[in-house]
Amino acid sequence: MLLAIDCGNTNTVFSIWDGSEFIATWRTATDWKRTADQYYVWLSTLMKLQGIEADITDVIVSSTVPRVVFNLRVLADRYFNTRPYVVGKPECALPVDVRVDAGTAVGPDRLVNTVAGYDLYGGDLIVVDFGTATTFDVVAADGAYVGGVIAPGVNLSLEALHNAAAALPHIDISQPAQVVGTNTVTCMQSGVFWGYIGLVREICARIKAERGRDMRVISTGGLAPLFQQAEALFDEYQDELTMHGLTVIHKYNKELATQ
């Protein structure tokens, strides 16, 4: 069985893949100080509580937080007796090309989303991921990652408003009943909600115009359905896009190892 780990700036997701489906998924706050022993105690306790008996033989990691990788490597080695594949490292091959400026380090999560998008939908894609940052990844016709766009994440923007302006409260994002707010909360909700609707639509339109072709727009991340309800921004929504990409990359590397 495969333990797939997606470590983002805010949360880290652990999923167990049995070869045909994910049998369990758990989420924890990302903390580079958490040790391998702490990871294992947390993970094994959750497995026991849910009655899951998984013989984990392989581990693959995608991490946007470099300092976390060491302890995840130790976790794989000490408790699962395996050397993990780490996306972005030389020993972890990708089934797609990366065509960006020389010397550019592309976030592992963006590479994984590219692989997943191409595997599920083919090429000529824009993958929009609503995470700590809102990212737009451009997938060429042959599946190559050819660049993208990074914008502040939705919750990051809300937090910035709250922190920078003493009179503005902390709020949750939701679709306001009307565009013009009649109190501070609805004014903020309208600005962020409709602002991001416009941001996604305009950036996708400009990417398509620059590439000179029609492209499918795939979304992932927890807030994507909220924005899709208001406007037809995306052609597809895939909640487990990153995790699917990790299984594809793992399979590709295992096949290479047997050649």
Q: Residues with catalytic annotation?
A: 109
Is residue 214 helix, strand or coil?
coil
Contact between 72 and 31 under an 8 Å Cβ cutoff? The reply is no
Contact between 26 and 48 under an 8 Å Cβ cutoff? The reply is no
Whose tokens are 């599920």? That residue is 120
What separation, in Å, do the N-terminal and C-terminal C-alpha atoms of the chain show?
21
Q: Give the strand pairing for 58-63 and 85-86.
A: parallel
Q: How many CA atoms lie within 13 A of 159 on its CB side?
A: 7
What 8-state DSSP symbol labels residue 98? B
Tokens in use for 160? 């910035």
The Cα–Cα gap between 106 and 252 comes to 20
Q: Which of 168, 209, 214, 208 is nearest to 191 (CA)?
A: 168
The Cα–Cα gap between 69 and 91 comes to 14
